[in-house]
């Protein structure tokens, strides 16, 4: 009886998003285990994601289903007790303090290099591409790097800092094309080892280091897809650190995923399986943290480009899955698929964005003209 009532509840909710249970359209959900409704009622998005990993439901177009769910606000009616628990823990504790900072590196970024290599572009850039003039992933990522470094007004001989340098692709591009020296820091040992080899022979130093321990001065500073791991309690700490080590007439680019609403805890499924201790910042949180520290010279939204990037990553991952089946099981495949496609849906719904924000400590001497 309870399951029937819960099923009817979710049928009504999903109708608002024009989604049918066991319907015949690509975005309709095919339910294979009727216990799904009780699980989602108790566990919210965590139970929904885990039940997909376990094969309880299918959907031909997960990204479109998620887009519809988010745009219709159905998700707001499916909060769970575990989600509320996570919320209060995030208020009470600093989940991104230094001793926890390396956790996401070990859990996510230290996964098989070959897995990421098969999924990403040739430069191994694990963030939103710029598709304005690009026809493929390689071109989109190179265009994104050029956009960032042109915004920084790089000149040969400058000292450049990459906070969250990944596998070194951005640092290498900057050194090769702009004649600068680069220091890159990462919290992933595997990324550090690869980046050192990747950047060999260039004026690039790669360190395993948390941003809070930085002291050297730099002419320019950027971070790409790292601010999402800082946490709202550390936004000011991050920006104060950048301010303290940036030259007085320097520039910094903050390339980050952004949320349409202010939040204090990340999605429980994402936190458990993909990015522990992460939190997508809102515009309000960023601008508040910038007060009395930076002039915001430019703010560009590339949000829909991230949906296109995620879909390209999934196609690559899916195409190469056969060679990873012996290292990862079917549950991992479904987890990774749900991660990439559900995130694409969030960008398509415009709940998530990609922001490139240009910051200067004192304002530029001449009117700043950002490239596009």
Active site members: 343
Quick count: other Cβ atoms within 10 Å of Cβ 121?
Answer: 22
Nearest residue to 3 via CA among 34, 29, 25: 34
At 220, phi and psi to the nearest 5? Answer: -140, 150
Give me the residue label for tokens 């960023």.
286
Strand order in the sheet with 352-360: 204-208, 181-186, 159-163, 218-224, 246-259, 352-360, 295-301
Q: Are 340 and 317 in contact (CB under 8 A)?
A: yes
Helix, strand, or coil (residue 206) = strand
Residue count of the chain, please give it.
Answer: 372
Q: What is the DSSP string of 207-221?
A: EE--GGG--S-EEEE
């Amino acid at each position: 009886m309870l399951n029937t009532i819960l099923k009817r509840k979710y049928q009504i909710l999903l109708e608002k998003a024009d989604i049918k249970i066991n319907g015949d359209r690509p975005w309709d959900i095919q339910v294979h285990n009727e216990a799904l409704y009780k699980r989602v009622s108790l566990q919210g998005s965590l139970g929904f994601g885990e039940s997909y990993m376990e094969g309880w439901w299918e959907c031909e177009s997960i990204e479109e289903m998620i887009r519809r769910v988010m745009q219709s606000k159905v998700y707001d009616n499916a909060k769970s007790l575990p989600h509320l628990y996570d919320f209060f823990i995030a208020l009470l504790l600093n989940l991104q303090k230094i001793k926890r900072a390396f956790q996401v590196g070990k859990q996510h970024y230290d996964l098989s290099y070959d897995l990421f290599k098969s999924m990403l572009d040739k430069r191994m850039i694990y963030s939103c591409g710029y598709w304005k003039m690009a026809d493929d992933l390689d071109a989109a990522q190179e265009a994104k790097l050029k956009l960032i470094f042109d915004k920084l007004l790089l000149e040969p001989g400058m000292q450049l800092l990459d906070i969250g340098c990944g596998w070194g692709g951005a640092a290498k591009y900057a050194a090769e094309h702009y004649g600068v020296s680069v220091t890159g820091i990462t919290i992933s040992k595997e990324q550090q080892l690869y980046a050192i080899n990747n950047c060999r022979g260039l004026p690039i130093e790669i360190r395993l280091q948390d941003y809070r321990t930085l002291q050297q001065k730099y002419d320019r500073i950027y971070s790409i897809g790292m601010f999402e791991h800082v946490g709202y309690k550390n936004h000011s700490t991050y920006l104060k650190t950048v301010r303290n080590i940036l030259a007085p007439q320097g520039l910094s680019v903050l390339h980050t995923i952004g949320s349409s609403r202010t939040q204090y805890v990340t999605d429980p499924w994402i936190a458990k399986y993909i990015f522990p201790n992460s939190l997508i910042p809102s515009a309000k949180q960023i601008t508040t943290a910038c007060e009395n520290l930076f002039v915001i010279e430019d703010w560009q939204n590339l949000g829909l480009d991230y949906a296109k990037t995620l879909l390209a990553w999934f196609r690559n991952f899916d195409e190469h899955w056969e060679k990873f089946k012996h290292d990862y099981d079917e549950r991992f495949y479904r987890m990774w698929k749900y991660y990439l496609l559900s995130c694409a849906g969030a960008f398509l719904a415009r709940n998530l964005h990609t922001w490139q924000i240009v910051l200067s400590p004192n304002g530029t001497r001449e009117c700043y003209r950002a490239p596009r």
